[in-house]
Structure 1
């Protein structure tokens, strides 16, 4: 059975990036850069990026958006949006 992970998408240096969080491992987190700030990557683009990394959403999983701040101690700090979804490795992909 394929293992489950959390994939997250956030803005990094003015570009959206998607990465799969591999906790409790020394492996590098798979990542994908969309190389742009706008527009926000579509559902289809995110699914294609996950596929390119060897993952797919868990059946029934939906993207959840969370608001954070660059500096959690400063309420006027710029907002950071983070999207997350549960994923699993595709058959034949070791993760």
Structure 2
């Protein structure tokens, strides 16, 4: 697994949750709960949330759907995509 990586799955509440796995402890991973089951979050919604969390989909990467090995239900799915941190623009000017 290459980090950072974004995952979207149904959370404990049953709603769609997107989170970004990093080398930090899991409690420090950035995340967002979409607060709904239907409709599934669109690619645009996922991109917007990733940007709000400080990430973007890695160049050329696409979301891949998986069924986790230890899924709580047979229909439990998980979408995975490699991401990169968004680097803020560096202001080259100096203060007067």
| Fold shared, TM-score > 0.5 on shorter chain | yes
How many residue pairs align between the two structures?
82
Deviation at 1:79, TM superposition (A): 2.3
Larger RCO, structure (CA 8 Å, separation 6 or more): 1
Q: What is the distance in 1 between the residues matched to 2:58 and 2:14? A: 29
**Structure 1 length as normaliser, TM-score?**
0.79
What is the rounded CA distance, in whole Å, between the counterparts of 1:42 and 1:67 in structure 2? Answer: 19
Q: Name 2:39's counterpart in structure 1.
A: 39
Computing the radius of gyration over CA atoms, which structure comes out larger, 1 or 2?
Answer: 2
Question: For 1:5-59, what per-residue CA distance to the aligned partner results, in whole angstroms no more than 9, with x for missing partners?
Answer: 1000000112101000012x34700001110000000000000010010000111
Q: Give the structure with the higher percent strand.
A: 1
Q: How does 1:15-34 map to 2 (within 5 A)?
A: 15-23=15-23, 25-26=24-25, 28-34=28-34
Which runs of 5 or more structure 2 residues have no equivalent in the other structure? 89-96
Provide structure 1 residue ranges, at least 5 long, that are not aligned to the other structure.
71-76
